[in-house]
Structure formats: structure tokens, C-alpha cells
Amino acid sequence: MPRAGLSPASVTEAAAALADEIGFKNLSMGLLAERLGIKTPSLYKHVANQADLTHRIAVLAMNELSDAIRDATQGRSGKEALVAGAHAMRTYVLEHPGRYAAGNAAIVTGPDDPLTPAVGRVLASWTAMLHGYRLDADQEIHALRMLRSILHGFSALEAIGSFQLNADVDDSFTWMLGFIDQGLKAKWPDLVPSR
């Protein structure tokens, strides 16, 4: 019989918090069971296995990230939305590095996978950040890929302490966002060859 108070959702939340503390790569069913004060086999009453647990954390993380970006950008457009959304993502990654890593490690398993709409919500949040730039459909796809790559790269590197130069990291982030804003305003249609 499952322990009272535990459910797939509460186990996932506990695992996400533990991943944030010790790092996603260090998360194990044994450590999670210890944190919850139960025997490891008891976890399997709530989650199928480590892969299922990772997948559940990924869904949680993508939903949380999309909410953070949405809340930060609501009522804003153009550079103001870009800056607010970028800061929301950076803050989320720094506060939740383990669950964010799980979100990037999980792979969609099929059409009914709850990760699909969760990732879709993040993409919708990024699209909303770009809305004020009035990009055409082709440019928007390139801009989304650029935005994801740059924000993910900066935030993930900062989360693991990779920025060792003595320049202020906040200043670098502000400079980067200004650079992105100027590029999006320029639109540069001739950069992508026509097919």
C-alpha cells in the first residue's frame, strides 16, 4: 500500500527539489527514497522507474518555466518583453538547475505525452516575447531558435559557474539582450538564402 501523503505529483516535486540541490545527474531513486523516508521499492508505487521520474520532472519544469516567462512578459512587447522574459528564464534556470536540466534531457515519447504541450507552452511564451518585433513566419522560426540557444546557453553556463572573467555577469546579460534586440529590429532578411 502506498505511503499516506505520497502521490506521483508529490514524489515528482520532491525529486525536482532534490535535483535542484544535488544536480540532475546525481539524482537517483535511492537518494529520493532516502529524502522521502521510505524504502526505494516504495517509490515504484508512484513512478515506473528513473526514466519516468525524469520525464515527470521535465513536464513540471517546462510548465513552470512557461508560467514564469508568461507572467514576466504579460502586458509587455518589444524589447521590454524580451528583457522581462529573458530575465525570467535566467532566474528560473539559476533557481532550478536540476529540474531545468531534466527538462532538456527528456524526449517526447508519443502524441499523448504531456511533455508535448508543456514544451509547446514554452515555445508560445518565447513567441510572445518576439511578437512586438513583427517578424514574418520564416524569421520567427530562426529567431526562436536563436533565442532558445542564447538564453539556454547563457543561463546553463552561469548555473554551473562557468563565467570566470572579472566582468560583471549582469552587465554581460544586459549587453547580450541589447544586441539581440538590435538584431531583431534589423530583421536582416538577406541572411537566410532562399531555396
The maximal CA–CA distance of the chain, rounded, in angstroms, is: 63
Segment 87-128, tens digit of pLDDT:
999 999 999 999 999 999 999 988 899 999 999 999 999 999
Backbone φ and ψ for 154, nearest 5 degrees, come out as: -60, -50
pTM of the model: 0.90
Under 8 Å between Cβ of 84 and 37: no
- Distance in angstroms (rounded) separating the CA atoms of residues 28 and 26: 6
Task: Report pLDDT for 190.
Answer: 56
Report DSSP state, residue 194: P
Segment 13-40, tens digit of pLDDT:
999 999 999 999 999 999 999 999 999 9
Task: Report pLDDT for 155.
Answer: 96
Grid coordinates of 93: 534556470
Q: Is the Cα torsion angle 69, 73, 79, 80 positive or negative in sign?
A: negative
